[in-house]
A = this chain, B = another copy of it.
Amino acid sequence: MSISSRFAVGVHILTLLEVNKGGVNSSEFIAGSVNTNPAVIRKIMGMLKKSGLINVRPGIAGADLAKDLSMITLLDVYKAVNVVQEKELFSIHENPNPECPVGRNIQDTIGPLFSSAETAMEKALGNVTIADVVKDISKKEKLNTV
């Protein structure tokens, strides 16, 4: 299984808010860039808003970043869109046999190990910001334009 593309879309949205900050970033406009339904965008924007990453208001078209580009990490987005619940990247089978030495301990033993791996992944996400994403896209655009 893969982690929901809601995460990638969240990054897309934030990036677009910056790149198109001169224009009106309505859910419909963003949906056109992402290529999905405006309602999907609004749902994700609601999550980004709830986490304090963007400003959006009912009735008013458009949204913008609530923080500096360089202060928003991919981890912030990842957490915001709830693609994985805390400590649940890896699921562990429930109700193993308590009468078996392995069964009665396996959960407590691998739980922390799985958490460490999950944390390592999150740490990597925390080292990248939306500013980095915008910068990379700018670089790619310049190369394509030459």
Which residues of A pack against B, CB within 8 Å? Answer: 1-5, 7-9, 11-12, 15-16, 19-20, 32-36, 74, 83-85, 88-93, 95-97, 100-103, 105-106, 108-110, 113-114, 116-125, 128, 132-133, 136-137, 140-141
Contact = CB atoms under 8 A, between A and B. Distances in A.
Given A12-B96, A34-B96, A105 B1 contact: no
Contacts of A91: 2-5, 8
A107 to B, nearest CB: 8
A27 to B, nearest CB: 14
6 contacts: A1-B83, A12-B93, A16-B100, A33-B96, A105-B140, A113-B128
Nearest to A126: B117
A114 B132 CA distance: 13
Contacts of A3: 1, 89-91
Given A109-B133, A133-B113, A100 B2 contact: no
A20 B100 CA distance: 10
Contacts of A8: 90-93, 106, 110, 114
Nearest to A92: B8
